[in-house]
Amino acid sequence: MDKNTTIGLVLIGLALTLFTVFNQPKVNPKQTAKANSEASVEPKKPTKASPEKNDAGKDKAAAVNPTFVSKKPTTYPAPVVGVETQDFVLQNENLHITLNNKGAMVSKVYLKKYKSYDDYVNKKDNSLCLFKQGDAQNYLIIPTENGIVSTENKVFTAKRKGNGVTFTYDLSSPTQKEKSIVISYALEKGNQLKYDIQLNGFSASSKAKAQLKWTASLRRTERKLKEQRKISTVCYDQANDGFDYLSESSDDYDKISDDVNWVAYKQSYFSSILHPTLGFKKDRGSIQVKNFEEGQKKFNTHIKEMKSLFTLKFNPDNKATCLWYFGSNEYKQLLSYHADYDDMLNYGWGLFRWINLYAVHPIFDFLIHNGVGAGLAILFLTMILKLLLMPVQWKMFVSSVKMRILKPEIEDITKKYPDKDQALKKQSEMMSLYKESGASPLAGCVPMLIQMPILIAVFRFFPASFELRQQPFLWAEDLSSFDSIWDFGFNLWPYGDHMSLFTLLMSGTTLLYTFMNSGNVQQPTQPGMPNMKVMMYIFPVLMIFFFNDYSAGLSYYYFISTLMSILIMVMIKKFFVNEDKLKVKMMAKKQSAKTDAGPKKKSKFQERLEEMQRKSIEVQKNKKK
């Protein structure tokens, strides 16, 4: 391995290190989360609702948009005393949703086909809970000439029809009849809940300013809450500016400056996506994500608190319709809605995302959907990628051998020109040596740079791949989470609270690969330059700490990939490339170049070096004068 190849490896190490460091959240929660799934949802006993005063000055919604508050007192009659709060359950093959007539809200959502990590390891058949009563709210804020009307605490009358419920809140008065808020929900097949909002009898100004507020604290569903928080945030798609999202690592807030097509509360493997058919208006909209602080009630059970406030668009029938998706972040499922939901998946940006979407994912998906287990699918994926990159690795190895053959002569040239002012002469002589022997210092660097995008792409692919979730392989009980052969019972900084065997194997094979190539590394002769060998050996050790909490599928891939690189290198060396024959061939080419008659054609780079050398000599002569 020549100097450029070494630099390539160091660059990969730095890239992966930066990915790891920048993905660390600012909060560092202690992992003491409890199981949070429930097998079923039982409707609460109806309870009497206390009379509510429709006082605009005390309405919580006024704090959200104080500009909406009118000084005129509200003249609407108070709701009828004795209306009961009730739960209404809607179910299909995928969802179990509970609605409540207080606020006409979605109070609970369970995904029937999935389990939380706790239920998975304990072999319980409970459905996965996205949020429960008290975790989420969705209500209207409507400014009127008499003040703010908020549905947050209003108790609606309800009427059930099939697998749907219609909630009505009557605002009629002697001066204005047939004024009401009608909110309807309907659940059919699939993972989408239809959500209709209709304002009857309201002025055009009130409808133009009516807003929907949605807050949710999504519950822990995976093994480690800290890892879920790293990749959970609010995502949204804008009409003109396209997809965007808030920070995944820290608290964030943004005012909406463009019409919004949809908004999603995304966690690691599941999302809640609110998609209005007419979109949301940009007026007075905002989104926010906030981490829970240590000591807060939800710190050990919930991921983050997410909030959004949007101005609704109504059709000519005074109705705003939304489709509410509750489900997995599986790529094909999100893609099937043809609404760019798949942009939420963190497959990387630019070239890395392109590699994942059009190369890595199609191969992996083909293997998974043809009955291959997740662990074997990673193995076969690695083999396919390695075979495709075989010509690149071949070129790298041959270049490495050539540079190793030339190493004694390069060292002699370095000794011949030890001074700094002789650097140009040394460089010129080295270039002549490379040209005469048919070697190139860049031949090993370029192939390494070709492989780098794939190495970085899979760093994003496996942690975001839903197909790995709760898939066991060998000693790993869940390839989407870390594997552990020893749980310490305490946190050992900076290593963690467990020992990941796949990470140790990955680090070990990387260390072996480094050792096998360390003989090719040229030691720097300039004072103050870092020792390249030491840097190469440090990186595999650092991997033990960086990857201990990462997806077992990712560590397993890097382990298999490095192991295959070692085997391919050994096979090329033993069966395909004869170092002695290559040395004889290079010496013959060098001899032929020396004895070749006629003037030798110099490369443009060599001509520039000689010109720089000539000018440098003239400058030194002028200094001596």
39 is a domain residue:
no
Phi and psi at residue 485, to the nearest 5°: -100, -5
549 is a domain residue:
yes
356 is a domain residue:
no
Tokens 């608190």 identify what position? 305
295 is a domain residue:
yes
Is the domain of 417 the same as that of 322?
Answer: no
Which burial class, exposed, middle or buried, applies to 493 when counting CB atoms under 10 A from its CB (0-12, 13-18, 19+)?
A: exposed
User: Which of 293, 310, 345 is the C-terminal boundary of a domain?
Assistant: 345
Is the domain of 521 the same as that of 374?
Answer: yes
Q: Indicate the helix (H) or strand (E) that contains 192.
A: strand 192-200
Is the domain of 19 the same as that of 96?
Answer: no
In angstroms, rounded to a whole number, what is the distance separating the alpha carbons of residues 538 and 536? 6
Is the domain of 14 the same as that of 118?
Answer: no
Quote the domain boundaries for residue 141.
Answer: 47-345
Q: What three-state secondary structure class fits 494?
A: coil
What confidence category does residue 412 fall into, taking pLDDT thresholds of 50, 70 and 90? confident
611 is a domain residue:
no
360 HSE (CA, 13 A, CB side): 27
Distance of CA 166 to the CA centre of its chain: 38
Assess whether pLDDT exceeds 70 at residue 617.
Answer: no
368 is a domain residue:
yes
**584 CB-near residues (< 8 Å, 6+ apart):** none
Is the domain of 20 the same as that of 93?
Answer: no
User: Which of 296, 315, 345 is the C-terminal boundary of a domain?
Assistant: 345
Is the domain of 371 the same as that of 341?
Answer: no
Is the domain of 308 the same as that of 425?
Answer: no
Inter-residue contact 262 to 339 (CB < 8 Å): yes
In angstroms, rounded to a whole number, what is the distance separating the alpha carbons of residues 397 and 2? 10
Inter-residue contact 439 to 403 (CB < 8 Å): yes
Inter-residue contact 260 to 268 (CB < 8 Å): no
Segment 494-500 mean pLDDT: 91
**pTM for this prediction:** 0.77
pLDDT at 534: 72
Provide the CATH number for the domain around residue 246: 2.70.98
Distance of CA 112 to the CA centre of its chain: 25
357 is a domain residue:
no
**389 CB-near residues (< 8 Å, 6+ apart):** 450, 451, 454
Inter-residue contact 267 to 228 (CB < 8 Å): yes
Assess whether pLDDT exceeds 80 at residue 459.
Answer: yes
DSSP symbol at 518:
G
594 is a domain residue:
no
Q: Indicate the helix (H) or strand (E) that contains 108.
A: strand 105-111
Burial 139-149 (b: 16+ CB within 10 A, else e): bbbbbbebbbb
CA separation, residue 327 to residues 94, 166, 302 (Å): 8, 23, 18
pLDDT tens digits along 527-580: 555 556 677 778 888 889 989 999 999 999 999 999 998 888 888 777 777 667
Is the domain of 70 the same as that of 11?
Answer: no
Is the domain of 130 the same as that of 248?
Answer: yes
Is the domain of 179 the same as that of 320?
Answer: yes
Is the domain of 99 the same as that of 198?
Answer: yes
Segment 88-108 mean pLDDT: 96
In angstroms, rounded to a whole number, what is the distance separating the alpha carbons of residues 66 and 53? 19
Q: What is the mean pLDDT of the chain?
A: 81
Kindly report the three-state secondary structure assignment for every residue of 37-78: CECCCCCCCCEECCCCCCCHHHCCHHHHCHHHCCCCCCCCCC
Burial 284-313 (b: 16+ CB within 10 A, else e): bbbbbbebbeeeeebbbbbbbbbbbbbbbb
> What DSSP string runs through 270-282?
EEEEEEETT-BEE
Neighbours of 348 (CB within 10 A): 21
Inter-residue contact 465 to 368 (CB < 8 Å): no
Assess whether pLDDT exceeds 50 at residue 63.
Answer: no
Q: Structurally, how many domains does the chain consist of?
A: 2
Is the domain of 94 the same as that of 159?
Answer: yes
Assess whether pLDDT exceeds 60 at residue 197.
Answer: yes
pLDDT at 303: 95
Segment 310-337 mean pLDDT: 95
User: Which of 285, 317, 345 is the C-terminal boundary of a domain?
Assistant: 345
Assess whether pLDDT exceeds 50 at residue 79.
Answer: no
Q: Indicate the helix (H) or strand (E) that contains 291.
A: strand 281-291
Assess whether pLDDT exceeds 90 at residue 112.
Answer: yes
Assess whether pLDDT exceeds 90 at residue 611.
Answer: no
